[in-house]
Structure 1
Amino acid sequence: MTLKPHSAIAHAAYHDLLRSLREEAVGDLRGTPTRVERNGRGYWYDSFRVGAEVRKRYLGEDDPQMTARMQAAREAREPAEARRRARARLVRLLRAEGFLGLDPTTGSLMAALAGAGVFRLGGTVVGTHAFRLYEGELNLALSLEQTAQTDDIDIASFERLSLALEDAAAPPVQEVLRDFDFAPVPSLEPGRTWRWRQTQGQALVEFLTPAFGEEGLRDLPALGVQAQALRHLNWLIAEPIPAAIPYRSGVLVQIPRPERFAIHKLIVAERRQGQARLKAAKDRAQAEWLIEALARDRPDDLLDALEDAREQGPRWRERIAASLERMPETAAALAAL
């Protein structure tokens, strides 16, 4: 497989776009930044008054970078419109350099979900839409076979985080989806759904959450939706990273770490049964591309993820090994780490 890097200009433009989006995310403060500690972890909120009531809007988990971004936001004086136009120019540059974009419907939906706070409140893009965004993170162009657009948007979040945040999407996620002509898909539990299908097309939005025990439907209070609980997902979405979608003036989301995504694809490929075997081949192709890229540029990260996954238990080791039996070149690359 040939890995083709983007230009140095595209690499710099992507990270400028990502930096600007992250600064903008914490720069629109309505009140006072407040740090709250829960279970030994710190979280930042924008605390403001509405009448006699104090409300809090979740900003992100505490770390030195968050503190620095909030300080920079306080000192920023550049008008918001000028910042938006600067980001739009960066997006145009990325498109000219061959970066993947989104169709208008998907792009505007992702922007609306981001505006409602879905990703700020812990939502993580998974699946093929996340894979496409590693183009910017790894500064590598995707091949023609890998650029096929998928109609599915998969968003995962931790149930416990959703309960702990004491904040909610605004407008509600269900309202956003209805505005884009999505309707709930009936499930086995009457009155509850984790899938929304566009009434005039094939687009499908699915909400997922890690299963700690039995798989089934769980509530995500911060997003106001139900989610399908799945095994292995908690490992995938732990410690997600920010990513910029090159649509209009940019959309800030978060995605799994690429090394975890790659190893997770090896695992889920072996869980596919029946008609889903076509998806298993796609899983392995994405894992192969990521592993080759990471083995070259981030071998320590890849090795840490592989070892950590194998330590999760015998079923994890068996599924990883079964996938690698079908992928001798990838297995050799991992063995050489």
Structure 2
Amino acid sequence: MSAAPHSALAHAAYHDLLRSLRDEGLRDLRGTPSLVTRNGRGYWYDSFRVGADVRKRYIGEDSPDLAARMERARADRAPADQRRRDRSRLVRLLRAEGFLGLDPTTGSLMAALAGAGVFRLGGTVVGTHAFRLYEGELNLRLGLDQVAQTDDLDIASFERLSLALEDAAAPPVQQVLADFDFDPAPSIEPGRAWRWRQTAGNALVEFLTPAFDQEGLRDLPALGVQAQALRHLNYLIAEPIHAAIPYRSGVLVQIPRPERFAIHKLIVADRRRDQDRLKSAKDRAQAALLIETLARDRPDDLAEAHEDALSRGPRWRDRIAASLARMPDTAAILAAV
């Protein structure tokens, strides 16, 4: 499975859209940005007063990139309506250039979740919806056969980060889901749900979090939901990146780094090889495409992610090796990186 690149114009338009969306979130500060340090890491907050109370809204983790974006946002005086129209123009250009879009229901749901702060507060889109968004990050012209549409939306977040942020989605995620006619699906723990099913249709939203001991349900306080803890997920969602969804005037989300997504797919493919062969085959196909692309364009990133996974123990190495045994061409590419 391979993919041709988009045009240079589409590639530039995508990154213009992404940059505008990232900066937009820094324009509506109500107070003064303040830096809070926890466990040796810095986190920026918008601190403002509401009556006698001081409120804090999470902005992002401290980095030179965030500092530059805050400065750029302060310097840009373009009206909000003009910025939105400019982004809508970029979205139209991307669609005309063949970028994949979202159906209105999924696009509206993603926009509502982003508006509530889900992705600002650490939520990371994983699964097929994340794979689709590598189209812009890696400049790949993906076909419908390569990204068979799924009604499932998987969002992952670190439990510890959710606890540390001391901020919460607004409106609450459960309210956003209810507005789109999602109800909690029954789970093995009464009164707790990590899956939400739309009452009309097959759409499903699942919340996930890394398991550092036993798998089970965990609370994500920042999102106000429970999540299913899964092994290997900590590797996947470490150091996520931003991605732009070409819907309306653009929607900003987080996705895993593509090199981590590719290696993680090798692990997942082996985990569910016996239970769901079709999904296992799709996992291997997505990994193959990303590894081929990354080996050509970002070999150092791919090599580092592969070595990181191999260093995590024999069970990791065994699962990766089992998948690669069924993918000789991909195995050869990885060995040559």
Q: What 5-or-longer segments of structure 1 have no aligned partner?
A: none
1-structure distance, mates of 2:141, 2:40: 40
Between the two proteins, what is the percent identity of the paired residues? 82
Determine the structure 1 residue equivalent to 2:56: 56
Give yes or no for contact 2:118–2:223 (8 Å, CA) kept in 1: yes
Give yes or no for contact 2:60–2:120 (8 Å, CA) kept in 1: yes
Determine the structure 2 residue equivalent to 1:85: 85
Determine the structure 1 residue equivalent to 2:113: 113
1-structure distance, mates of 2:147, 2:165: 36
Determine the structure 2 residue equivalent to 1:14: 14
> 1:273-299 CA deviation, whole Å, 9 max, x = no partner?
544221101100000000000011011
2-structure distance, mates of 1:212, 1:2: 35
Determine the structure 2 residue equivalent to 1:285: 285
Give yes or no for contact 2:128–2:147 (8 Å, CA) kept in 1: no
Moved more, 307-316 or 135-144: 135-144
Secondary structure at the counterpart of residue 307 of structure 2: helix
Give every structure 1 segment of 4 or more consecutive aligned residues whose post-TM-superposition deviation is greater than 2 Å.
none
> 1:39-58 CA deviation, whole Å, 9 max, x = no partner?
00000111111100000000
TM-score scaled by length of structure 1:
0.99
Following TM superposition, by how much is the alpha carbon of 1:144 offset from its aligned partner in structure 2, in angstroms?
3.0
> 1:209-258 CA deviation, whole Å, 9 max, x = no partner?
00010000000000000000000000100000000000000000010000
Do residues 45 (structure 1) and 32 (structure 2) align? no
Give the direction of change, closer, same or farther, for the CA distance of 1:2–1:233 in structure 2 (3 Å limit): closer
Secondary structure at the counterpart of residue 4 of structure 1: coil
Determine the structure 2 residue equivalent to 1:324: 324
Do residues 240 (structure 1) and 246 (structure 2) align? no
Give yes or no for contact 2:241–2:256 (8 Å, CA) kept in 1: yes
- How many residues align structurally? 337
Query: 2:68 is aligned with what amino acid?
Result: A
> 1:6-54 CA deviation, whole Å, 9 max, x = no partner?
0000000000000000000111111111111000000011111110000
2-structure distance, mates of 1:88, 1:276: 40
Following TM superposition, by how much is the alpha carbon of 1:68 offset from its aligned partner in structure 2, in angstroms?
1.0
Matches for 1:152-167 after TM superposition, within 5 Å: 152-167=152-167
Secondary structure at the counterpart of residue 48 of structure 1: strand
Matches for 1:65-104 after TM superposition, within 5 Å: 65-104=65-104
Determine the structure 2 residue equivalent to 1:187: 187
2-structure distance, mates of 1:58, 1:184: 27
1-structure distance, mates of 2:217, 2:273: 21
Secondary structure at the counterpart of residue 26 of structure 1: coil
TM-score scaled by length of structure 2:
0.99
